Chains A and B, each alone.
Chain A
Amino acid sequence: KNQVEQSPQSLIILEGKNCTLQCNYTVSPFSNLRWYKQDTGRGPVSLTIMTFSENTKSNGRYTATLDADTKQSSLHITASQLSDSASYICVVSASFKTIFGAGTRLFVKA
């Protein structure tokens, strides 16, 4: 069964700290993996997209990694800011299917 599981479900960190969000998937055949940021009440916005051959992709303070062998991805946020408070959604695409993770809700506190 095609699944995308994210952990933790929610996370609270202090402003300026780093954090790492996890995504495990069983989607096959794998096409690409994307991380989205979704602010409350808004649509998801793409952070990174990675194909099978890529294992790291950065976008500013966001760095995503992909291990296609273990079917795991992580999103690392460096020097967090209050504006990073949002849901982070891992999305994995197969040939004709896109599977959304449930998201990690991140709260950054001053």
Chain B
Amino acid sequence: SAVISQKPSRDICQRGTSLTIQCQVDSQVTMMFWYRQQPGQSLTLIATANQGSEATYESGFVIDKFPISRPNLTFSTLTVSNMSPEDSSIYLCSVVGSTSGEGDEQFFGPGTRLTVL
């Protein structure tokens, strides 16, 4: 299994500011994923962070709004830029790892709860 930590665990931010969320994994992984979970909703994939190349963004998400860094195989950051109240969500980091006998399994970090005023 993979152990994932995120910083900060929560934050309250003012409209128009930016917040950078950090994700640290205890093992080297090729791909890291960033999800958003709006209140009462399920998870929506924002982008896939690949080490050594630009992140791949899903429809509806753009690099200017959600820039991502992936400096090495155990770390990634997601920045939420020029925030508005609509960005209030839980942001989750995720990786895929192999579970013995069960193939690939997806592991999630504890999430960062963001509130934008």
Chain B interface residue number, banded: 20 to 34
Which secondary structure characterizes the binding site on chain B?
Answer: strand
Which of A45, A46, A49, A102 contacts B103, CB < 8 Å?
Answer: A49
Cβ contacts under 8 Å, A42 to chain B: 110-111
Interface residues of B in 66-103 (CB under 8 A from A): 90, 92, 99, 102-103
Instruction: Say yes or no: is B54 at the interface (Cβ < 8 Å to chain A).
Output: no
In the assembled complex, the CB of B100 is this many whole angstroms from the nearest CB of chain A, namely: 12
| Contact A34 to B42, CB < 8 A, known contacts A42-B111, A49-B99 | no
Find B105's partner among A34, A43, A101, A103 (CB 8 Å cutoff): A34
- Bound together, the chains give a CA A100 to CA B92 distance in angstroms of 14
The one of A41, A45, A98 in contact with B45, judged by C-beta atoms closer than 8 angstroms, is A98
Knowing A32-B103, A49-B99, A51-B103, say if A43 contacts B42 (CB, 8 Å).
no
* Residue A21, interface by CB 8 Å: no
A-B contact count (CB 8 A): 41
Of A43, A89, A91, A98, the contact of B109 (CB 8 Å cutoff): A43
Q: Which chain B residues lie closer than 8 Å to A41 at the CB level? A: 90, 111, 113
B42–A46 touching, CB < 8 Å:
no
Q: B106 contacts the other chain (Cβ, under 8 Å)?
A: yes
Question: Could you write out 5 A-B pairs with CB less than 8 Å apart?
Answer: A42-B111, A45-B108, A49-B105, A100-B43, A102-B42
**Which residues of B are at the interface with A, using a C-beta cutoff of 8 A?**
4, 41-45, 90, 92, 99, 102-111, 113
